[in-house]
């Protein structure tokens, strides 16, 4: 039977991707809170959503810069 545990290489890849995953989860959490609030969304919930989206955007840009997508390497 094959060993089903991730390899150390796979674990390093997951660890490297974790900041992006965390940022995406924050956006989903903010979207859920907004959906639950409906029309009665508070300013705090709006700010939470904007911060989560901004965090995700910064993470995507940082990852793209490291990958050399913007003409330079970090």
Per-residue pLDDT of the chain (74 residues; tens, 9 = 90+): 577 899 999 999 999 999 999 999 999 999 998 888 888 888 988 899 999 999 999 999 998 887 776 555 44
DSSP state of 5: S
Domain boundaries, the chain: 40-69
Task: Give the per-residue pLDDT at 74.
Answer: 46
Task: Give the per-residue pLDDT at 47.
Answer: 92
The pTM of this model reads 0.70
pLDDT digits (tens, 9 = 90+) for 41-61: 889 888 999 999 999 999 999
Task: Give DSSP secondary structure letters for 34-73.
Answer: HHHHGGG--HHHHHHHHHHHHHHHHHHHHHHHHTTTTS--
Retrieve residue 11's tokens.
Answer: 């674990």
């Amino acid at each position: 039977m094959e060993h089903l545990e991730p390899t150390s290489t796979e674990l390093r890849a997951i660890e490297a991707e974790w900041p992006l995953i965390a940022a995406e989860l924050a956006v989903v959490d903010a979207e859920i809170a907004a959906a639950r609030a409906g029309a009665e969304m508070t300013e705090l919930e709006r700010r939470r959503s904007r911060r989560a989206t901004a965090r995700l955007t910064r993470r995507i840009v940082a990852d793209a810069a490291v990958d050399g997508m913007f003409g330079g390497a970090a």
